[in-house]
Chains A and B, each alone.
Chain A
Amino acid sequence: MTDTIQIQIDRADGSLQRLIGLVERRGFHIDGMSLSDEGAMRRVQLQVRGRDEGRCTENLGRQIDKLIGATRVGFAASTYGCQSSVAA
């Protein structure tokens, strides 16, 4: 099950390494990746897949949101690996 995340990211030192390291460290394979120029920023599209059951792409998205200089701009995620949702 591969999910797609699009991120707009700045050109600061280490920014790509920071993003890719985060995704792998949080337990995801990167099956595909593309990079395009957007002037002062770059756009990265990642196809990611959890390394094992229980790796929830939504949780990964929230970790990406914390990266300084990176913004999620597209997110097509399954709920695979996420705990069953609970009613409030």
Chain B
Amino acid sequence: MSAVATAINAKAAAAPQSGARLLVSTLDRLGVEVVFGYPGGAIMPVYDALTGSRLKHILVRHEQGAAFAADAYARATGKVGVCMATSGPGATNLITGIANAMMDSVPMVCITGNVATHLMGTDAFQEIDILGVTLPLVKHSWVVRHPADVPAVIEEAFHVARSGRPGPVLVDLPKDVQVGMTSDDFGFHYPNDVTPLDHAAIAEAETLIRAAERPLIYIGGGVKIAGAVEALRDFAERTGIPSVSTLNALGSIRTDAPGFLGMLGMHGTKAANEAVQESDLLIVFGARFDDRATGKLNEFAPHAKVVHFDIDPAEINKLRNAHVPVVGDLKAGIEALTARVATASLAIDPWIIRSTSNAKRNAFRYDAPGEGVYAPALLNELSKAAGDTFIAACDVGQHQMWVAQHCEFARPESHLTSGGLGAMGYGLPAGLGAKLAKPEAHVVTISGDGSFMMNIQELATLRRYGVALKIVLLDNASLGLVRQWQELFFAENYSEVDLSDNPDFVAVAQAFGIEAFMIDRRDQVTDGIARLLAAPGPCLMHVLIDPKENVWPLVPPGKSNGEMMHDTRFEGDM
């Protein structure tokens, strides 16, 4: 990539401005509406410049919350998320959020203050080499050395964050650059680095598809990022080829669409994993063969040739060789493929019938025995009650997998989850960011009692801004997914997973000024969901569930996706 800033054409400005004011005016000019952040010593000039600007600053209660909220704002809108923090501890608190955005290719601009240039490298108070610390976690980063460079660097930062394969970028602003005055304003000239469509490769892909008897679409998060959802749906509908999805791509094809077999991988559906193992051609759209999706890699899709569409050339042959790689914009690529393939029908009816009837035969069941709340059933009902404007902001753990398995999604923007990093604590600030981005939607944070405590301070942010986020807190009084693995793979040696001394979450929420109630019986679920969704402001539904409940099915670690373990309660009649 050649996106080097070409700072040219200095315009003579009327009055000198500070670097901090140039930052704020540049963000405004770029269309930024919301910034998530937390002030501190080394970024005070920026906060001074924020007052009186059109930017809406959301004061979180921990910088990690700012990064996660900006990430979810970006995922829900497709725009670039923006967060800011001071030097030292403020900057280091952003790191988990930056890593999260990097792993899931989320466009985000992180702005950090730093000590003055002449103090950098002297171990000054709250000095951290945040550029050095975050090098493995960003798509690119800059230290701004002169106030006049601020607009060009910020514009380039936005361009880098959202172009090609998106990702987080970091701009470090030493304090002297924030207060320094300049009359110059250098422009940034966007490089034109669009990869031309590879028609020859698409023709080869067509040949493989026409020859295939068991083709399968493997959908990754790139489809949503590329704005290729409609193109994908058109391709799937017109060819009839069945599809499976990664965690991050759920909703790219409606989860209730007939040819959709479900999520693949460790907690994927039986139908999806069996289809992958039987397939003779994987048509991969914007996916990266993550180990949670593939299981044991050298036994993944053992009979399949691979057509791999991706904008990132480094994903081609990284983990699985592609017989036909198609590097470039996914939307244009899928549209060109559809134009070729949909002209004559494919002779794959037996495969379509076999794979879709397998999905019907193995559909999830919600008639688990007992009186207690069955979380999968609750989540399925919740997504149906919330309808097509449902947005789930998940935390990480068993509940995250239950959401992926049991919620229905109409759009990929409806499912916000920490897929690559798996960062507990994402759910609450992500819900905050998503609800601010989409106030008309039913945004629901779905969390667990472990994850929720990791960023519980953001309840104060909900209250402060009156953000009507709804929270479903599934409480099994333990670190459930770790407990499940200890049960299955560590001989039931339960080590440090007991959280039975959790606080009273209803009382905690109420202390933050947030409506809250508890349910613990199956017959309370429907009314509980109705109350939660109807609440005018933020509301928390605390749900007590059975600590022994596991996520099924499961591909054990190191095993092939063909070796799934199932819920024995439903065996015999599946």
Contacts and interface: CB of A to CB of B under 8 A. Distances in A.
A85 B1 contact: no
Contact of B131 (A14, A66, A68): A14
Interface in B292-314: 312-314
Report which residue of A14, A17, A59, A63 has the largest number of chain B beta carbons within 10 angstroms of its beta carbon: A14
B313 A17 contact: no
Given A59-B318, A65-B313, A68-B160, A21 B136 contact: yes
Contacts of B314: 59, 62-63, 65-66
Report which residue of A18, A21, A67 has the largest number of chain B beta carbons within 10 angstroms of its beta carbon: A18
A85 B316 CA distance: 12
A66 B312 contact: yes
B31 interface: no
Nearest to A60: B314
B313 A62 contact: yes
A54 B33 CA distance: 46
Contacts of A62: 313-314, 316
Interface string B399-419: 000000000000000000000
Contacts of A14: 131-132, 135, 141, 143
B3 interface: yes
B1 A65 contact: yes
Given A13-B142, A14-B135, A18-B135, A83 B1 contact: no
A68 B140 contact: yes
A17 B135 contact: yes
Q: How large is the interface on A (under 10, 10 to 19, 20 to 34, 35 or more residues)?
A: 20 to 34
B153 to A, nearest CB: 10
Given A63-B314, A68-B160, A83-B321, A17 B132 contact: yes
17 contacts: A12-B142, A13-B145, A14-B143, A17-B135, A21-B135, A22-B136, A62-B316, A65-B313, A66-B1, A67-B1, A68-B1, A68-B3, A68-B139, A84-B321, A85-B321, A86-B321, A86-B322
Given A13-B141, A58-B317, 14 more contacts: A12-B142, A13-B143, A14-B131, A14-B132, A17-B132, A22-B136, A25-B136, A62-B314, A65-B313, A66-B312, A68-B140, A83-B321, A84-B321, A85-B321
Interface of A: 10, 12-14, 17-18, 21-22, 25, 56, 58-59, 62-63, 65-69, 71, 82-88
